[in-house]
Amino acid sequence: MTPVLPDGPQLDEAAGRLVRPYTVSDGRTRATSHFTLVTTVRATGARTQGVFGLEHAQVLALCEQPVSVAEVAARMQVPAAVVKVLLSDLAEGGAVVAGDTRPAPTDHSARPDRDLLEAIRDGLLKRL
Amino acid sequence: MASSNDCDPLPADVLPVGVKVLIAGGFGVGKTTFVNALSEIEPLSTEEMLTAVSAATDRLDGVENKATTTVALDFGRITLSPSHVLYLFGTPGQERFWFMWDELSEGALGAVVLADTRRLEHSFAAVDFFERRGIPFVVAVNEFDGAHRYRGEEVRTALDLRQEVPVVLCDARVQVSGIRVLLDLVQHLITTRSSHGSDTDQPTVRA
């Protein structure tokens, strides 16, 4: 199920991570699109426009099936903030689509809608 | 029937909605066990970069002392349906990471505060945090072997919980037990939503 990374995470047992994490995002820590840890992403299969590096290819390989931002980050072993930047690049180039990318409500008085809660409840009940 | 260009991006609305629930409680209370028992994948760990306002009060020229740090977050996944996926994020148990709960709790549906009756005071911080932020939560008493069994009401009193906060018993090692805790949380969310969701007593029919 899980795609194998082309080159595996760039780790060395003795030295740790060989490439400093923010190097792969050109030092950027701000994604241009709003991705949360639980945003679902998927590669579109469209040919990408723009110049992408190895890490972009790794992200694409990991999201051939719908997958969360957190899972992509965990499997690449880079901070989620870096993956968000890479995903933003790919989304802008049309290579990746994201699910719900609305900013999460910061105010908890904005309650989740009842349909969502009931769908979650029904899904959990099937697991009993 | 007319097939379009096979490079058409797939519509975003077919992607499942990810929902986040936090699993909190003091160190050693069973958060990792709880997530492991429920997750359909081997629990993963991701690093999230977070901003911490330094506790130091030294300020030069009004420059605020902010620092970013990365913290490892463990999480698990439960696919509920083709359109809904639930993610369980364990909150770091150490006090020095509490600053990050704000960012972690952003967008979270709610929280489960695990409690160990032998060390109830370890769960005070989590209870306090979610109460102050208005984040709905349930308290799940993890029934460790050999621990004295308390009634839910005794735990409620000891933790000084408001009456509407559900207190349930669970065994963090058992999947069905964890699912029941999550169901209690979702039911709590549905109940509080219908009791506070409208300014009038009339049930709201339309969205």
Mean pLDDT across B9-16: 63
Nearest CA in chain B to A79: B47
Alpha-helical segments (H) within B49-151: 101-105, 124-133
Q: Is B77 on the interface with A (CB under 8 A)?
A: yes
Radius of gyration of chain A (CA): 17
Q: Are the beta carbons of B66 and B52 closer than 8 angstroms? A: yes
Residue B63 has pLDDT above 90, yes or no: no
Nearest CA in chain B to A123: B80
Using a CB-CB cut-off of 8 Å, the residues of chain B touching A105 are 107
Using a CB-CB cut-off of 8 Å, the residues of chain B touching A29 are 49, 68
Tell me the domains of chain B and their CATH numbers: 15-196 (3.40.50.300)
Q: Are the beta carbons of B130 and B124 closer than 8 angstroms? A: no
Mean pLDDT across B135-148: 86
Confidence band for B3, pLDDT divided at 50, 70 and 90: very low
pLDDT tens profile A98-111? 987 554 444 555 56
pLDDT tens profile B82-96? 999 999 999 876 666
Structure tokens at A107: 């105010």
Using a CB-CB cut-off of 8 Å, the residues of chain A touching B10 are 42, 44, 97
Nearest CA in chain A to B21: A38
pLDDT tens profile B36-55? 999 999 989 888 766 665 44
Q: Do A74 and B44 touch (CB under 8 A)?
A: yes
Confidence band for B183, pLDDT divided at 50, 70 and 90: very high
Assign B197 to helix, strand or coil. Answer: coil
Using a CB-CB cut-off of 8 Å, the residues of chain B touching A39 are 18
Averaged pLDDT score across all residues of chain B = 80
**Per-residue pLDDT, B187:** 96
Residue B78 has pLDDT above 90, yes or no: yes
Query: Could you give the CA distance from residue A100 to residue B15 in angstroms, rounded to a whole number?
Result: 8
Nearest chain A Cα distance for residue B202, angstroms: 16
- CB contacts < 8 Å between A and B, how many? 159
Interface of B with A in 127-166 (CB under 8 A): 133-136
Question: Which burial class, exposed, middle or buried, applies to B47 when counting CB atoms under 10 A from its CB (0-12, 13-18, 19+)?
Answer: buried
Nearest CA in chain B to A70: B46
Q: Do B189 and A117 touch (CB under 8 A)?
A: yes
Query: Could you give the CA distance from residue B90 to residue B99 in angstroms, rounded to a whole number?
Result: 15
Residue A16 has pLDDT above 80, yes or no: no
Nearest chain B Cα distance for residue A61, angstroms: 16
Q: Do A120 and B20 touch (CB under 8 A)?
A: no
**Per-residue pLDDT, B18:** 94
Count of Cβ atoms closer than 10 Å to residue A79 Cβ = 21
Structure tokens at B154: 């005794």
